[in-house]
Chains A and B, each alone.
Chain A
């Protein structure tokens, strides 16, 4: 039973140039769903439409079966956390958090206890009397979280909440957000452009591109099995090249790898691919290995560059399918630039994507 439903939402900032067109999405109760995509993909527009700051041209937004589409944002009962935190600079932490309760005319002592409780949950009891300017970035983020959740909203929306924090703090904060969200069991829509963040925090991830959903799924499945070239690029597949399908057998297709056939998982929007079709092949840098010299079992290449990353080494190798990036355990054999090598495919984690409609129909 979906809790938050978006049906056929159409939003345009300029006439006849919709940012979202007939966009639909369902979020389950208590679920944390991430909208992942590059800037301009429509994720923030979706979020601001749910919050009510954007009046859609068409479509419907339902929360718990109630139609929210025409409801003004201040009557929506939605918690919103902004990228800039948007704390009220003139109010103390306490009054920032209390703001939403005040608007709801909650009695004073209840406000006090609820704010105290909310601050405790984010570990800021001691900071109630400070102004936002006297807090660190992470603390400000916690205040924003407390402020958005203290009103016990039906849905929590987070708009790139971690992008203003430095890397270490980001990891800590996303754990904090996840913990809080699960503790409160609150249905959450989380907007980010950082795939690692989306993977680590979400129940489900929606990858968006140009106002359309590219793929919806659990983080693991999106990470392991992207269905489109866009998603694969976005999911950090380091290597990408195009190959011709030699044959197809059920769930596997065969392409040529340095004279050897390799069998790969495939995904196509248009049914089973034909042999001769062009497939886009993706694999990550750690799903291939290097052997010294020219070997018949793999693709011949030449090392261009290597860089050291603690327990692994990263090589850039020139091959007939282009430059490939390959990671090796630092304990394994080392290759100098200019050295001839053979690239061995570990095909179980490789993926072939077919997007060209005409060749696959």
Chain B
């Protein structure tokens, strides 16, 4: 059923998907300060430049904190919602599901814009707080959905079993439900972290003086310089991402779930 020309289509697909990464990779080691192709010579200066550019370092920490904080909060708050949706039948569960999947349906740029206007209306608000709220809101769909899926795979009666054996509800949840959800939680965590860490549209409007996320500062760097520093930074980020995902896979066995 699979014929030769279909394999050719596979080659085309992958060169289109991954080609740009190879180009970035090459450019990040090229000695020329412009975007001429092919890159000339070899240098690590662009990588050095990444670490010397304070806006990248500062915004990296902002993005890291933001991603950790909003992912964890969206998980901690989203988990009970997922639990309610998968363990109870109730009037309004449709509404709850819609509300929690809505942030994925509304364009990110619009969310950022609407939130900025709303926060201005509310009055004094720290930039980081605004970013945190924005990111947490857009992560709910991921955390609720992924955790729900993992809860659906777990027999709801195991909690009753734990309780009938003498555990209280909370202990039953901690000892029986949580350990069985770890792959799901890890998947939701990695997914949420990456989504937040890479977000541009929401952060764009909500960034402010001294507090900018890494992708937004990359974007504004491009408004000032077209040099391979961005390529070097992108190469580092790809490595960071691969390491993150691989570690999650090794430690937590991500692929059982995803």
Contacts and interface: CB of A to CB of B under 8 A. Distances in A.
Contacts of B164: 51, 73-74, 76, 78-80, 148
Interface string A54-78: 0000000000000000001111101
Contacts of B172: 74
B157 A86 contact: yes
Contacts of B179: 90
B105 interface: no
A104 B179 CA distance: 21
Given A73-B164, A103-B166, A82 B154 contact: no
A74 B160 contact: no
Nearest to B154: A89
A88 interface: yes
A148 B164 CA distance: 9
Given A88-B176, A90-B180, A100 B166 contact: yes
Nearest to A103: B166
- For the side of the interface on A, what is the size category? 20 to 34
Given A74-B168, A103-B167, A87 B158 contact: yes
A88 B166 contact: no
A84 interface: yes
B248 to A, nearest CB: 18
B115 interface: no
B163 A73 contact: yes
A151 B167 CA distance: 13
Given A72-B168, A100-B166, A80 B161 contact: yes
Given A72-B168, A74-B168, A86 B163 contact: no
Interface in B139-180: 154-155, 157-158, 160-169, 171-172, 175-176, 179-180
Contacts of B169: 74
B158 A103 contact: no
Interface of B: 154-155, 157-158, 160-169, 171-172, 175-176, 179-180
Interface of A: 51, 53, 72-76, 78-80, 82-84, 86-90, 99-100, 103-104, 147-148, 151
18 contacts: A53-B160, A53-B163, A73-B164, A74-B165, A74-B166, A78-B164, A80-B161, A82-B160, A82-B161, A84-B157, A86-B161, A87-B161, A90-B179, A99-B165, A103-B171, A104-B166, A147-B165, A151-B165
